[in-house]
Each structure stands twice: as structure tokens, then as C-alpha cells.
Amino acid sequence: MVMDFYNLKEQPFGVTPDPRFLYMSPSHREALASLAYGIRSGRGFMCIIAEPGMGKTTTLFRLLGELKESATTVFLFQTLCSPEDLLRALLRDLGVTRVGASMVRMQEQLNGVLVAEARQGRKVVVVIDEAQNLEDSALELLRMLSNFETASDKMMQIVLSGQPQLREKLAAPQLLQLRQRMSIFVRLSPFNAEETRFYIEHRLQVAGYNFQAPLFTPQAEALIAQHSHGVPRTINNICFNALSLGCVLKQRSIPKETIAEVLRDLELVPEGDGETQSKPGERVLFGWRAIQSSTVFQQAFAWRRRLAVLSLLLLPLVWLAGPGQSAKAGAPIPLPAVNVALQPPPASTMTNGAPKAAQPHLRRSGNLRLRSQYEVAQTDDVATLWQQVKKHSSDAEVRLAGIYLEGTVVQRNCTQAQILLRDASQKGNARATDLLNDPAAQCVKSQ
């Protein structure tokens, strides 16, 4: 019901670590690049640390996905175990069906697997999630396993992933040798308000939202950023509940008031919080304006979300039970296509009478280059442009989108460029609207 109402192909705020939904914030991009470089360089031991819900597992799944063609990968998540159980689980994930009974025999089997993979030119990458739960004896076993090496390379790359307690554990004197072997430490930082907005819109885009209208108002996104503290898992919980409630209330765009109610239901704000507390006479109860300060109506309003969830559960049953609906149950639901296009520039926008050179990944239209279309700001400095964006300059958003599309000043990021263009278009910037709707040019991936 929710996905149909908002024309979504899939749930944008799910609970599984799907790497397609990973938003590459600066800290996530740096962590992924550092780990990938460490593995390619054969550093042996690496570590990623972040608070719960920051996307460690999703980042690691993206890393393993990028390595699947060149490495044999193992992902271990059961860390409340003995060293023997840890080694046994590792061998089973590596395809050993008859695991030895003793530690000596299991280490011999592991050495055989590593040698066989090395002969085929493949690395063995082992990721251990929730590593802060490992006992010191298990961590010492991992240190010993890192001794499997050739004269020029480590035969196994180990990535430990955990919460801040892992850093404290590795700092213990008895684990000094393991700590010395950790060649790369990376951390994931919470999103700021701007990154939170990009994160929400990125997930909506992956889920197929068409952005003909903003799904969350700017005030709603600001409230989400404030009370989620930039933690992706908390953002997902807030947005999921907001969409459920917004669907029942027939809200095509989720306002700040709906987010405030979700925050109270999830107990993410203290009772009586001034910013999220509705003023008398401003609450709307399923389309009716609530009368002021009546105990009965206050109790009814507290059940608003519970009734919304119950309605979502019952509506499919009523719909399927209706006459003639069974034949329609399997009919496909048409979804609007996402068409993000870039408009070719008019001749008047060329710099000094000649366009700047187009990048290979930008599609040309006639003899005009897309670069000149973005000559709306007087600077190429990304930091300065972001300051202008924060001051609600739609021209700066269009200019910054052009820089992200070109990929010469910063790493190319088509998704971020589209988000900037949509935001500028919503502010009434005609150039951004034309770029989004003109089929003459398209935002395409680099070949």
C-alpha cells in the first residue's frame, strides 16, 4: 500500500544492508577506498570502527561485492564463540566440508585452502563483523592466522568491524602484537544536516521515486536530521514510520508535523518538547481539526499512529475480498520512469565565445558542450559553492551539479548532481528545470 501510494518500486528505508542503497558520504567513501587499497596492497589486518547503525555492514557488503571477481571472500558475523568455533566457521565458509577435530588439523586445512587460492591468483578476504565481542583468545588466534604468508604477500586479508569498544580492546597490553599489525584504521562519522538530506533522497531515488514533488518537505528533513543525530539506521526508522502514517493520511508530501508525531511515537524526543509539540488547535486527526485541550481528544490523538498501522494491515484484506478484485491482484502497477536530463547550452552561454571541453562521460548535443550550461556562479571552488547552497542559492546548486557531473574538480557523482538539480528546480530555477526535463542530453554513467 505505501509503495503503491508513493509510486515506489521497493521499500527505500528497509532494514537489510543492501549495498545498492549505500550513500557515499565523505567518511563512507574514504573508508571504502582505504579498505580496498589495503586489500589490494596486501596489508594483512585492517579495522573499521563506528557507532551502531552507521552502515558498517552495508559498507563491507559493497567492498566484498567489488572484490568478488578477484578474491574469495568470507563474512563472519557470529563472534560470541571460542577460537576453535571461529576457525571451524571460517573453514566451512571457505568450502571445507570435513573440518578437522583438532586445532592443528584445522590450521593445516586452512593452509591448504590458502595455497590453492594463491596458485589461482586469488586473494582470500575475511571480514569479521561485531568483532568487539571476540574474546582475547580468539583475537590472538587471528593474529596467528595472519602468519600464513609467502615471501612477498599475505595469503589472507582480515578486516575487523566493530563498535568503539573494539578500539579499546585492541589497546589492551596483552593484544599489543595484534594492534601493531593493524595497518589501516577507518571510522564512519554521522551525517550532518546536508548529508542527511542527500541520504534520504538517494534512497528514494534507488527505490524509484520520481521526484515530481518532494516526498519530505525541507522542514521535515531538517527535523529528521536534528533528532536522528545523523545515524542512518535511525533515519530509516523515522522515514519508514513517516511514510506509513503519511500514506494513511493521504499526504503526498510528508510535512514537519508528521515527523514530529513519529518522533514522539518512537520516543526520540522528550515529552513536551517545544519544537515537536503541536500547538492547540493545530492537530489534524484523520482530516478533522481537533478541538482545543480536551482530555478525550488528546487520548484519541495519541492513538493516531496505531490506528494508521492497523489500517495498513486491514486494507489489503478488504481490497482482496472485494468483488472482482482477485483478477486484478496480479496486474502490474505502472511506475513513472525517472528521466534526469541535461539541457544543451545556448550559444549565448559560451565562455569567451567558445565552449569549454566536454568530459568523455557527458553526452554532447550538436556542437555545444554541457560545461557552459553551468556558468551561473563566479567560482569553481566547491567549498565556496556549498556555502552558497547553504544560503539557498539555486544558481550555486546548478553550478555545483555541473562540477559533480564533470568529475574533474571532485569525484564524479551523478546521483548528487541530480539531487542538486531537483532542489534548484523546486526553488523555481528555470535552468535546473530545463536540465531535468530536456531529453536532448542525459546523465549517463562513465563507460
Span 78-121, pLDDT tens digits: 888 999 999 999 999 999 989 888 999 999 999 999 999 999 98
The verdict on 242 and 321 lying in the same domain is yes
Q: Identify whether 379 is part of a domain.
A: yes
Q: Identify whether 442 is part of a domain.
A: no
The verdict on 32 and 144 lying in the same domain is yes
pLDDT for position 255: 95
The verdict on 210 and 182 lying in the same domain is no
Q: Identify whether 61 is part of a domain.
A: yes
pLDDT for position 358: 38
The verdict on 140 and 238 lying in the same domain is no
Q: Which domain holds residue 291?
A: 2-16+193-328
The verdict on 231 and 356 lying in the same domain is no
pLDDT for position 138: 93
The verdict on 177 and 200 lying in the same domain is no
Name residues of the chain where pLDDT drops below 70. 271-378, 438-447
pLDDT for position 319: 53
The verdict on 43 and 168 lying in the same domain is yes
Cα–Cα nearest to 48, from 158, 181, 172, 146: 158
Domain boundary among 328, 360, 380: 328
70-81 pLDDT, tens digit each:
899 999 988 889
pLDDT for position 47: 96
Residue 216 C-alpha from the chain's centroid: 17
The verdict on 324 and 394 lying in the same domain is no
The verdict on 101 and 239 lying in the same domain is no
The DSSP element (H or E) to which 244 belongs, if any, is helix 232-248
Size (the chain), residues: 447
Q: Identify whether 321 is part of a domain.
A: yes
Count: domains in the chain: 3
Residue 267, all three cell numbers: 520516543
Residue 69, all three cell numbers: 571477481
Domain boundary among 187, 205, 229: 187
Largest Cα–Cα separation, the chain: 79
The verdict on 296 and 403 lying in the same domain is no
The verdict on 12 and 54 lying in the same domain is no
Q: What one-character-per-residue DSSP string does 106-151 give?
A: HHHHHHHHHHHHHHTT-EEEEEESSGGG--HHHHHHHHHHTT-B-S
Give Cβ neighbours of residue 200 (< 8 Å, ≥ 6 apart): 216, 221, 224, 235, 239
pLDDT for position 322: 53
Phi, psi of 266 (to 5 degrees): -85, 0
CATH (domain of 155): 3.40.50.300
The verdict on 134 and 174 lying in the same domain is yes
pTM above 0.85, yes or no: no
Residue 270 C-alpha from the chain's centroid: 28
**Amino acid at residue number 223:** L
- The dihedral built from the CA positions of residue 378, 382, 384 and 386, taken in this order, carries a sign that is positive
CB-based contact 130:99 (threshold 8 Å): no
pLDDT for position 372: 36
Q: Identify whether 256 is part of a domain.
A: yes
Domain boundary among 130, 161, 187: 187
CB-based contact 283:255 (threshold 8 Å): no
CB-based contact 128:89 (threshold 8 Å): no
Q: Identify whether 342 is part of a domain.
A: no
d(C-alpha 263, C-alpha 110), whole Å: 50
Cα–Cα nearest to 132, from 83, 80, 86: 80
Cα–Cα nearest to 200, from 231, 227, 230, 235: 235
Give Cβ neighbours of residue 366 (< 8 Å, ≥ 6 apart): 344
d(C-alpha 327, C-alpha 333), whole Å: 14
